[in-house]
Amino acid sequence: MNIGFIGFGTMGLPMAGHLIKAGHVLHVWSRRAASVDSLVERGAQCCASPEAVAAACDIVCTNVTASADVEALAAAMAPGFAPGAIHLDFSTIAPSAARRIAAMHASVGVEFVDAPVSGGGLGARNATLAIMWGGKAVLAPRLDAVFAVLGKTVVHVGETGAGQVAKACNQMIMVAAIEACAEAARLAAGAGVDFAKVRTAMLGGSAGSRVLDVFGGRMAARDFAAGVEARLHHKDYALLMDEATRLGAALPVSTAVWQQLNALMGQGMGCADTSSLLRVLESGATQAAR
């Protein structure tokens, strides 16, 4: 199948690679041409514009940072799409933005699917992503050509925007758990107990979790290199807290976590791993208590 791909960050690049490996003809475009060199070497077609990508493909995947980026790409691709083509967006953006883009595409017969992913760079490289998608259920067989190659868990959550709602829920649970790990690590250290031991003990019990394993492990090793850059989680919190305000839903724990992320950003740790939430807690403690 002719598949387009735009957005080659930590996630996008390995995802695009898997699609080539699976035998698809990949059409790519990037503002910085150098970022697609490795894909072109492996047979990807380099296009001159997003519009050209759209014109050549049945499905175009995008994987960029913000709502505005996806909206700009959608507008740029619009003149190129053939009716019935699918714009498949893997980015994490506001549910309302996803619905806006879908409406724009629908007016010219183009399908839009929001399919944010969870699993990080590791999940992208190992093709073990959790994919949560929103859009018309009838598109499932066509989308499967892409999803089957990239993810381990693929769930159709509901209509357009539902994928983004699921992703917001995912981020709330995950980052709150990272903060809980950081607080446990802080408490253990303050009491003079080795958090690495505490973590090992807990992994076998009721508090065991992926987050305790992965992020707790980074905290124990004091390895704060990303992983997932904290600034991306911070960005996601703006989206989900905005949605909470719009809906009139109280999220008391999430908002507290959000403030810790704000402090993390303010301390200049946005490009480090989100396990740096531990360092935010330490920044409020005396040297002796660390």
Partner 1 sequence: MNVGFIGLGLMGRPMALHLEKAGHALHLWARRPESLAPFMDKAAAINARTHATPAEVAANADVVIVMVADAPDVEKVCLGVDGLASGAMPGLIVVDMSTINPNAARTIGLRLAEKGIAFVDAPVSGGETGAINAALTIMVGGAPEAFEKVKPLLEKMGKSVTLIGDSGAGQVAKACNQILTGVGVLAVAEAFNFAAKSGVDPAKVREALLGGFAYSKILENHGQRMLDRNFKPGFKAWMHQKDLRIVMEEAHRMGLMLPSAAATAQVFNAIVGSGMGENDSISALMLLEKMSNPSG
Nearer to partner 1 (CB atom), residue 210 or residue 246? 246
Residue from 145, 203, 207, 263 touching partner 1 (CB under 8 A): that is: 263
When asked if residue 84 is in the footprint of partner 1 (CB under 8 A), the reply is no
* Catalytic (active site) residue 136: no
When asked if residue 186 is in the footprint of partner 1 (CB under 8 A), the reply is no
Residue from 96, 118, 153, 262 touching partner 1 (CB under 8 A): that is: 262
The label of the residue with tokens 């990949």 reads 26
Backbone angles phi, psi at 58, to 5 degrees: -85, -35
Burial 263-285 (b: 16+ CB within 10 A, else e): bbeeeebbebbbbbbbbbbbeee
Provide CB contacts within 8 A for 15, sequence distance 6+.
5, 61, 63, 90, 124, 129, 150
When asked if residue 249 is in the footprint of partner 1 (CB under 8 A), the reply is yes
When asked if residue 237 is in the footprint of partner 1 (CB under 8 A), the reply is yes
When asked if residue 252 is in the footprint of partner 1 (CB under 8 A), the reply is yes
CA dist 259 and 265 (Å) reads: 10
CA dist 91 and 257 (Å) reads: 22
When asked if residue 242 is in the footprint of partner 1 (CB under 8 A), the reply is yes
Residue from 34, 247, 287, 288 touching partner 1 (CB under 8 A): that is: 247
Spatial contact of 134 and 157, defined as CB atoms under 8 Å apart: yes
When asked if residue 248 is in the footprint of partner 1 (CB under 8 A), the reply is yes
Query: Which of 21, 152, 167, 197 is an active site residue?
Result: 167
When asked if residue 66 is in the footprint of partner 1 (CB under 8 A), the reply is no
- 96 closest CA partner among 58, 150, 134: 134
Residue from 43, 267, 289, 290 touching partner 1 (CB under 8 A): that is: 267
**# of chain residues touching partner 1 (CB under 8 A):** 25
Provide CB contacts within 8 A for 159, sequence distance 6+.
134, 135, 136
Count CB neighbours of 145 within 10 A.
16
Residue from 222, 266, 271, 285 touching partner 1 (CB under 8 A): that is: 266
Q: Which residues are catalytic?
A: 167
Which residues form the interface with partner 1 (CB under 8 A)?
234, 237-238, 241-242, 244-245, 247-252, 255-256, 258-260, 262-267, 270
